[in-house]
Amino acid sequence: MHVMVVDDDTFILDLLTTILTVDGRHTVDCMVSPVDAIRALSKNSGKYDCLIFDIIMPEMNGIELCRLARSMPELDNTPILMLTAKRETKYLVDAMHAGASDYITKPFEVAEIDFRMNAAIHLHSSRRNMKRSNERISQGGSSRSNKPMITKSEIMSIFADELYKYNKK
């Protein structure tokens, strides 16, 4: 998976890069500037499987960065994790209203980053699949095939008829 991390603290960038690339499952692009991150996302928005933004940064805070990222149609279903030392509920609420998928406070555990990122990616993938299935169903097909679906009561009726025929023998 390809991850973008935006934080003005280079120590955090190095730490997250180490955590996420240690087993070779992820590649990480690091940005110190939220403005540079927006430029990169504008050019390559479909490139990333997950975005991790710090909240308190110069130039632009992570909540505004999250809003801008969510305004890009290609990032509508990309998980965005907010990372911050701020523990006040206001920041959590603002981040979630801006479109964040999850909120992680510093200091964090190594396992927490990987777990929350994978959970967010799985959730967004499930939502995307459900949306596609719903679109197919609303267009007249089912998610499994184009055959008409049979209801539970129809199955019970068929079963009852077959059972009746069997008992008459």
> How far apart are alpha carbons 41 and 132 in whole angstroms?
24
Q: What angle do CA 38, 43, 49 make, to 5 degrees?
A: 75
Give the pLDDT confidence score for residue 48 in this predicted structure.
Answer: 92
Q: Alpha carbon 117 to chain centroid distance? A: 8
Instruction: Kindly report the pTM of this predicted structure.
Output: 0.77
Q: Give the least confident one: 57-66, 103-112, 125-134.
A: 125-134
124-143 average pLDDT score: 76
| Domain extents in the chain | 2-138
Give the pLDDT confidence score for residue 10 in this predicted structure.
Answer: 96
pLDDT tier, 87 (very low <50, low <70, confident <90, very high otherwise): confident
CATH superfamily of 2-138: Response regulator (3.40.50.2300)
Give the pLDDT confidence score for residue 52 in this predicted structure.
Answer: 97
Length of the chain: 169
Q: What angle do CA 59, 38, 26 make, to 5 degrees?
A: 115
**63 touches 94 (CB < 8 A):** yes
Residue with tokens 């997250």: 16
> How far apart are alpha carbons 125 and 112 in whole angstroms?
20
Give the pLDDT confidence score for residue 148 in this predicted structure.
Answer: 57
Which tokens hold the place of 37? 């991150």
> How far apart are alpha carbons 32 and 47 in whole angstroms?
19
Note the pLDDT tens digit of each residue in 27-63: 999 999 999 999 999 998 788 999 999 999 999 999 9
Note the pLDDT tens digit of each residue in 142-162: 555 555 566 777 777 776 666
